[in-house]
Amino acid sequence: MIVTTQFGVPLMVAFVALHWWGPGFRSHVRYITTTAGISFLLGLGINQIILLLFERIRPYDAGVTHLIIAPSADPSFPSDHATAVTAIVVAFCCAGLPKRTVFLGLAALLVMWSRVYVGTHYATDVLGGMATGLCAAIITRLFYREGNRVDRWVTSIL
């Protein structure tokens, strides 16, 4: 679980990034990877605003769990890991890629469970992160449209 909690998000980001050069309808696949990236960053930005409003101490600081990894200095709610992986999964789900969505969804569940298991989050922190990631992906989907001028410019890079 320690490896999952430390490397789960970077591996999912690498999986998404490799799609940029993958097979398939090139501009559509690049739109999906861009949407996943924007959702990821927007979700983490929303989390920073939430952290200004809610300061929840981590479970190991409250004596609820025993930490098995290095401690984190920021508040517990919401989970950035859960936000990041949920944003990626929802971006792929909205794009209609069921096999990749299932694979990423299972990986995301493992990452989120690992955050509770290692003692860095309460389950509700993870649920809050899931909600933030979902909102970020939906907002991105609503405002970043495939085929517009910005999308054509972004997907033409490299």
Q: Express each pLDDT in 40-98 by its tens digit.
A: 999 999 999 999 998 888 887 777 777 787 777 788 899 999 999 999 999 999 988 88
Which residues, at least 6 apart from 95, have a Cβ–Cβ distance to it below 8 Å?
28, 31, 32, 35
Is residue 19 in some structural domain? Answer: yes
The number of C-alpha atoms within 13 Å of 24 and in the hemisphere containing its C-beta is 13
**Which H or E run includes 41?**
helix 26-53
Residue 100 within any structural domain of the chain: yes
- SS3 of 79, please? coil
How many domains does one find in the chain?
A: 1
**pTM given for the model:** 0.88
pLDDT score of 158:
55
More confident of the two residues 23 and 45 = 45
Q: Are 104 and 12 in contact (CB under 8 A)?
A: yes
We report the CATH number of the domain holding residue 87 as 1.20.144.10
> pLDDT tens-digit profile of 100-157?
899 999 999 999 999 999 888 889 999 999 999 999 999 999 999 888 888 888 877 7
Confidence of residue 25 (pLDDT cuts 50, 70, 90): low
Peptide bond before residue 78 is cis, with ω within 30 degrees of 0: yes
- The secondary structure of residue 144, as a DSSP letter, is S
**What average pLDDT is seen over the chain?**
88
Please determine, for residue 31, whether its predicted confidence score (pLDDT) is greater than 90.
no
- Domain encompassing residue 76: 2-144
**149 domain residue, yes or no:** no
CA angle (116 as vertex; 91, 43 as ends), nearest 5: 30
Q: Is 153 inside a domain boundary? A: no
Q: CB 89: neighbour CB atoms within 10 A? A: 27
Amino acid letter, 72: S
**150 inside domain:** no
> Does 152 fall in a domain?
no
Q: Cα(43)–Cα(35) distance, rounded to whole angstroms? A: 12
Structure confidence at residue 125 (pLDDT)? 93
Q: Is residue 8 part of a domain?
A: yes
Residue 24 is predicted with a pLDDT of 66
Q: Is residue 158 part of a domain?
A: no
- pLDDT value of position 13: 93
